[in-house]
Structure 1
Amino acid sequence: MMKYAMKRNVLFISLIPLFLIFNYLSGCSPVNPHQKPVLENGLPKLSPVITDELQESDGGMPDLEYSLDRAEYFYALGVNANRDGKWEQAQSNFEKAMEILSEIDVSADSNGTNERFNKLLKEIEKDYSYTLVSQGILSDESSHSAFLEMFADIKNFKNLKEGLSAKQVAVPESVTYTMPIEFNERVQNSLVYLQTVGRKHFVLYLSRMGKYKDLMLEIIRGYNLPEDLVYLPLIESGFNPKAYSYARASGAWQFISSTGRLYGLNENWWHDERRDFVKSTHAACKYLKFLYEKFGDWNLALASYNCGEGKIERETKNQKTTNFWELRLKRQTMDYVPLFMAATIIAKDKGKYGFAEVELMEPISFDVVKVNKVMNLKKIASSLDISYEELKELNPQLMRDITPPNHPDYELRLPRGCAEKFTEVYESIPTETATNWATHRVKQGETLSSIAKHYGVGLSAIASINKIRRKSKIVAGQNLMIPIKNSSKESANGPSYSSSSRDHQIEAVGGTYTVRRGDTLWKIADRFGTTVDALKGANNLKGRNPKVFPGDRLRVSADGNRRDAEKVHVVRKGETLSSIAEKYNTTVANIRRWNNLAMSGLIVPGDRLKIYSSN
């Protein structure tokens, strides 16, 4: 494998970069909705008018006050959506606000702005966590905690450097790297950051690295990739398989859903393979290998891993350079590569850079067994006389307390040495009934007790799921999550919803759909990924706008079901599902179905979408 010698190329810059890291890591504290200050008309006033692009100051960076105004505006939209139970809309607005904050460069002299910035981030964190729990993106016992790590006093940044010994900021020596590691000013600043402001968290990350390093390294070697890539999770997730970011990336390697699916990582209500530390490492290796082969440069490959290959491809073309250090990118991506280099430098020589006391955790070790029924993890742990927490740690991909339904030969990890005993007690562990969920909008006069009776579930179960007390008052318009046991076939895809929050589940038996109240040909065509003309032709319907009535039976075999040729479309800035559907002569419903997208159809530049076409 090719080895890289250390390059010394000190860049003199007048502005010390700030390293703004947003990682939303699963914790253990419960999340509760909370009241927010009432704003005029529910939203803050903005001047000037909001646009999609940040205004820039004379220095070329986004105007600070305007950026904070925009972030507060989207945050307020998210709060309003949360109150109305519009979870996907709330999530989208919170993430937009956090994206804006991630690009802000707070100066040392703006104490008032720093306070406003930090207060806003903490408020977003709490509401964003509640939104994700409400959607089932996080398991009930989990919450998000955010950490914002910045230089507390930028004026004294030089003092931070001087406070370290010359040895702790010097060029690495006698260390061989398999990735191209440079030691310029940006890398040195990242090094100082990890040694000072970010030290507390980085100590934990280095220690936790011990659990997964050997396992991941073996997989990386299998793909003939540079071994130093094993240090990438230090800055992606802190080696936390449950990490979840504002960009909707999840797992130790921080995959977004669309990219994860392209590399074989499946997710649904029951499990999220992006959090599987084995499968996600294989996926990361495949993706990184693809990026390196595409750009022929590891710095550009890493930058693409952070912001998407489409973005880097456009910027290298527009800025007429393939030198990462010369590119002007979003701050998060500009900091990403030097931060990786700094993390790698420290990880390979902890003693020299002030982390000699860090002891690596014991490497994770496990047996793999196959499960052919729905089993409760707590009952498995009890039967094997092992810790439930250890079982959960070995299987972070499981979003609920049970193994996924309708998933034959599901591979479950057990502590090393437990496979034989599991085989012995397997039949004695009862099969569980998978739980689906309904979202109930409270009506005038309803109580928790009356709602529990209506759904035939326990009052305590509803209170526990919604993080409220049995005697808590509820108000009309409030949304509650209701656990509902499946009466027959278990659902493999996840929760069903009441009509108050989502459309009824659509069923077409034998290719025939029974029209329901409120249906139109356009709605039916959109649901089944076909066109109105195709429906009219298949059902011999005449006229320009033929009406359908509840009880009518329509043949719904859709043109969109043909999958003769598969293409991959990389989403570009400004594109929507509608514009992409038009480009490929298909429908939005088809693209949503092919890529398992939510009804909101939220996509961001860099997403990779599967497109099937008969052309």
Structure 2
Amino acid sequence: MPPFRLKPLFLTTLMSLSGLSYAEPVLVASNTVTKEISIPEAIPAATNLHSLAFKPDDSPEIQEADLWNRIRQGYGIPNLDNSLVTSQLNWYSARTDYILRTTERASRYLYHVVEELEKRGMPTELALLPFIESAFNPQAMSTAKASGMWQFIPSTGRDFNLKQNMFKDERRGVLDSTDAALNYLQKLYDMFGDWQLALAAYNWGEGSVQRAIKKQQAAGLPIDFDSMSYLMPKETQNYVPKLQAVKNIISNPEFFNIALPKVDNQPYFASVDKTRDIDVRVAAQLAELTVAEFKQLNPQFNRPVITGNADTKILLPADNVEIYKYNLSKWEGPLSSWTAYTVGKNERIESIARRVGAQASVLKDVNQVPSNMMVKAGSTLLIPKSSQSADNDISQRVVDNASLTMTHDNTRKINVTASKKDSLTALAKRYKVSTAQIKEWNNLKSDTLKTGQKLQIEVAAAPSRRKNTRVAAISTPKKAIAVNKQTKKITVAQNKTHKQPG
């Protein structure tokens, strides 16, 4: 990122109007090192920056057209003023490219989030929280397995009724995850009566915040976020300051020489009910979108087919809804090319592929099965539809209960040449497999073998032999053993020459 300067003329005017002195700030950023910003000396912290922030235009035309202005109007969380806010403000404002990428991505989802916040009477700066959680990437996944725009871990997602199965993960769904996140944040606010503590609990866990409060109360100390943050892990200490920093930048982007992308104060997307199975590829084609564009609004679907029922919805850009409906009315091809298959025994994908008449590479890819794994009995796989199943959708019972479990493939293939005396039965007995398996592995239609016929048979891999490893002798301290002749008590003392580790 190239170095840049904040606008001296803008800041000089701002300082003079505010009665403050001006120290020209220079912001320097690079890919490896970010130098601290020199902010005006008379503005010591983020709260003061916020007090100088852009005041929303009161004209109805601006308020109606500008979603950023609508967010600013709804701020309701008290401002935080400490050195961590200044540090986070320095970090974010030094990365204008990052801010612009994130706000551009956010523009698809912000209207919906703001609408939901206002319906519930919640502070609108909470709409900026995904900026901190995921950079507004609904497909984000953390090392702790938190997923989606609002970063729900699996257990908390289930607590808030976000379905997670083979076909979809509602933690990534724009509508479902936003509803769950706002429900959770409201619950935390009702619990603590303080939005900053509610945010800390969203990051750290409600139990952790409750224990911190009890510790503060026992010591007769205040229980606000700023007073308690020393008890919190570093991530949580910085969590609320990060939101405050982003809030300040959104409040007055000009101060930081940032031009926010325009976000219209109107819905970006609309939902369409889907009651039949449809391939992601087909849905995108009907909406005249690329698959990537379609997935930006529908990231919850894990597989290339969207299973249909009364609750299934897909999101489309508002301008594409009528296009989708029109193209769907004219569509004559199949909507879905996939069906479900239940695995009866532990089996390799190659064997299943031969049975269902599909390519093994296709099944591995669509079901995300690594090459060295076998699919366990009871698992559900997606396989291409046959002519017999072309009009059948995957049942809701299968969707709700579908799972895919795997185990390491402990088989190996051997090549066998049939002799005059060999038969399928004899080979099956010799290699401890079934005749049906040999026929399947080799696409045999007949039970008769020809002399010299080449066959492949899968057998259990021999257990690996562990190599003899040489263990270095570990020296032990010499011990002095003393026996008390009267008490017969034995005392074992370490040799003084051996120093024990401290």
Q: Which TM bucket (shorter chain)?
A: 0.5 to 0.7
Aligned to 1:207: 104
Contact 1:205 1:239 in 2 (8 A): yes
**Cross-structure match for 1:106:** none
Structure-2 residue corresponding to 1:388 = 291
Q: Distance in 2 between matches of 1:254 and 1:439?
A: 36
Cα contact 2:128–2:247 (8 A) shared by 1: yes
Corresponding position of 1:262: 159
Does the aligned pair in 1 maintain the 2:274–2:313 contact within 8 Å? yes
1:435 touches 1:484 (CA, 8 Å); kept in 2? yes
Superposition deviation, residue 351 in structure 1: 1.1
Q: Determine the structure 2 residue equivalent to 1:459.
A: 360
1:232 partner SS: helix
2:315 partner letter: R
Aligned to 2:484: none
Structure 2 equivalent of residue 421 of structure 1: 326
Shift of 1:456: 4.5
Residues 466 and 439 of structure 1: CA distance in aligned 2, closer, same or farther (over 3 Å): farther
Greater Rg over alpha carbons, structure: 2
Alignment CA distance shift 1:214-1:256 (3 Å): same
Q: How many residues get paired?
A: 336
Specify whether residues 361 and 442 from structure 1 end up closer, same or farther in structure 2 by C-alpha distance, changes over 3 A only: farther
The offset of 1:164, in angstroms, is 8.4
How many angstroms apart in 1 are the aligned matches of 2:338 and 2:276?
10
Q: Judging changes above 3 Å, is the alpha-carbon distance between structure 1 residues 439 and 186 closer, same or farther for their aligned structure 2 residues? A: farther
Q: Show the counterpart of 2:464.
A: none
Letter in 1 for 2:114: L
Q: Is the 1:366–1:415 Cα contact (8 Å) retained in structure 2?
A: yes
Q: Partner of 2:471 in structure 1?
A: none
- When structure 1 is superposed on structure 2, of 174-183 and 284-293 the one drifting more is 174-183
Contact kept in structure 2, 1:372 and 1:410, CA below 8 Å: yes
- What is the TM-score normalised by the length of structure 1? 0.48
Equivalent residue of 1:396, what SS?
Answer: coil
CA contact (8 A) 1:439 1:497 kept: no
Partner residue of 1:479?
A: 373
Judge which range, 231-240 or 385-394, deviates more: 385-394
Q: 3-state DSSP class of the match of 2:314? A: strand
Identify the structure with bigger relative contact order (alpha carbons < 8 Å, sequence gap 6+): 1
Do structure 1's residue 340 and structure 2's residue 340 form an aligned pair?
Answer: no
Secondary structure of the structure 2 residue equivalent to 1:352: helix
Q: Give the Cα separation in 2 of the matches to 1:280 and 1:467.
A: 24
Paired position in structure 2 for 1:223: 120
Letter in 2 for 1:316: I
TM-superposed CA distance for 1:283, in Å, is: 1.7
**Match for residue 182 of structure 1 among 75, 80, 85:** 80
Alpha-carbon deviation of 1:193? 1.1
Shift of 1:426: 6.2
**What is aligned with 1:398?**
301
The change in CA–CA distance for 1:466 and 1:423 in structure 2 (over 3 A counts) is closer
Q: What corresponds to 1:493 in structure 2? A: 400
Asked if residue 433 in structure 1 is aligned to residue 338 in structure 2, the reply is yes
Which residue of the partner structure matches residue 81 of structure 1? none
What is the alpha-carbon distance in structure 2 between the residues aligned to residue 245 and residue 270 of structure 1?
20
Please tell me whether the aligned partners of residues 298 and 315 of structure 2 are also in contact (alpha carbons under 8 angstroms).
yes
CA distance in 1 between partners of 2:81 and 2:332 (Å): 59
Distance 1:281 1:414 in 2: 17
Assess if the C-alpha contact under 8 Å between 2:288 and 2:324 holds in 1.
no
Which residues of 2 match residues 297-446 of structure 1 at below 5 A? 297-320=194-217, 321-327=222-228, 328-356=231-259, 358-360=260-262, 365-404=268-307, 407-416=309-318, 417-422=322-327, 424-425=329-330, 428-435=333-340
1:379 and 1:204 mapped to 2: Cα distance?
29
Q: Distance in 2 between matches of 1:442 and 1:424?
A: 42
Shift of 1:161: 2.3
Whether the aligned pair in 2 keeps the contact of 1:440 and 1:480 (CA below 8 Å) is no
Q: Is the 8 A contact 1:436 1:494 kept in 2?
A: no
Q: CA deviation at 1:281?
A: 1.7
Change (3 A) 1:498 1:394: closer
Deviation at 1:221, TM superposition (A): 0.1
When residues 415 and 205 of structure 1 are mapped into structure 2, their CA distance, relative to the original with a 3 A threshold, is closer
Match of 1:613 in 2: none
User: 1:209-233: per-residue Cα shift (whole Å, max 9, x none)?
Assistant: 2222222111100001111111111
Q: CA deviation at 1:315?
A: 1.2
Secondary structure of 1:399's aligned partner: coil
Contact 1:375–1:403 (Cα < 8 Å) also in 2: yes
What residue in structure 2 maps to residue 171 of structure 1? Answer: 49
Tell whether the 8 Å contact from 2:271 to 2:315 is kept in structure 1 after alignment. Answer: yes
Distance of 2:256 and 2:312 partners within structure 1? 44
C-alpha deviation, 1:432, in angstroms: 3.7
Segments of 5+ residues of structure 2 without an aligned counterpart are 1-28, 56-71, 376-380, 410-502
Q: Is the 8 A contact 1:374 1:434 kept in 2?
A: no
Q: 1:464: Cα distance to partner?
A: 4.3
Cα deviation per residue 1:62-81 (whole Å; 9 max; x = unaligned)? xxxxxxxxxxxxxxxxxxxx
Q: Secondary structure at the match of 1:368?
A: strand
Which secondary structure state, in structure 2, belongs to the residue aligned with residue 319 of structure 1? helix
Q: Are 1:160 and 2:36 an aligned pair?
A: yes
Aligned residues of 1:436 and 1:496 also touching (Cα < 8 A): no
Residues 93-138 of structure 1, C-alpha deviation per residue, up to 9 Å, x if partnerless?
Answer: xxxxxxxxxxxxxxxxxxxxxxxxxxxxxxxxxxxxxxxxxxxxxx
Check 1:434–1:360 CA distance in 2 against 1; reply closer, same or farther (3 A cut).
farther
1:252 maps to: 149
SS at structure 2 position matched to 1:250: coil
Letter in 1 for 2:91: Y
What is the distance in 2 between the residues matched to 1:313 and 1:382? Answer: 50
Matches within 5 A, 1:505-520: none
Deviation at 1:260, TM superposition (A): 2.4
Displacement of 1:293 in angstroms is 1.2
The 1-side partners of 2:406 and 2:31 are apart by 49
Shift in Å at residue 300 of structure 1?
0.5
Q: 1:272 to 1:317 in 2, by over 3 A?
A: same
Aligned partners of 1:306 and 1:336 also within 8 Å? yes
Given the alignment, which residue of 87, 91, 98 partners 1:193? 91
1:238 aligns with 2:132: no
Distance 1:440 1:308 in 2: 41
How do 1:553-568 and structure 2 match up within 5 A? none
Q: Which residue is 1:272 aligned to?
A: 169
Q: Distance in 1 between matches of 2:82 and 2:405?
A: 57
Shift of 1:352: 0.6
The amino acid that maps onto 1:304 is A
Q: Provide the rounded CA distance (Å) in 2 between the counterparts of 1:244 and 1:164.
A: 38
Cα shift readout 1:524-568 (whole Å, capped 9, x = no counterpart): xxxxxxxxxxxxxxxxxxxxxxxxxxxxxxxxxxxxxxxxxxxxx
3-state DSSP of counterpart to 2:79: coil
The CA distance in 1 between the partners of 2:330 and 2:107, in whole Å, is 32
User: 1:178 offset after TM fit, Å?
Assistant: 1.9
Q: Which runs of 5+ in 1 are unaligned?
A: 1-148, 503-615
**CA 1:349/1:192 → structure 2, altered by over 3 Å: closer, same or farther?**
same
- Percent identity at matched positions? 28
Deviation of 1:462 after TM superposition, in Å, equals: 4.6
Distance 2:110 2:289 in 1: 24
SS at match of 1:418: helix
Closer, same or farther in 2 for the Cα pair 1:306/1:400, shift >3 Å? Answer: same
Q: Contact 1:439 / 1:479 at 8 angstroms: preserved in 2?
A: no
Tell me the amino acid that sits aligned with residue 460 of structure 1.
S
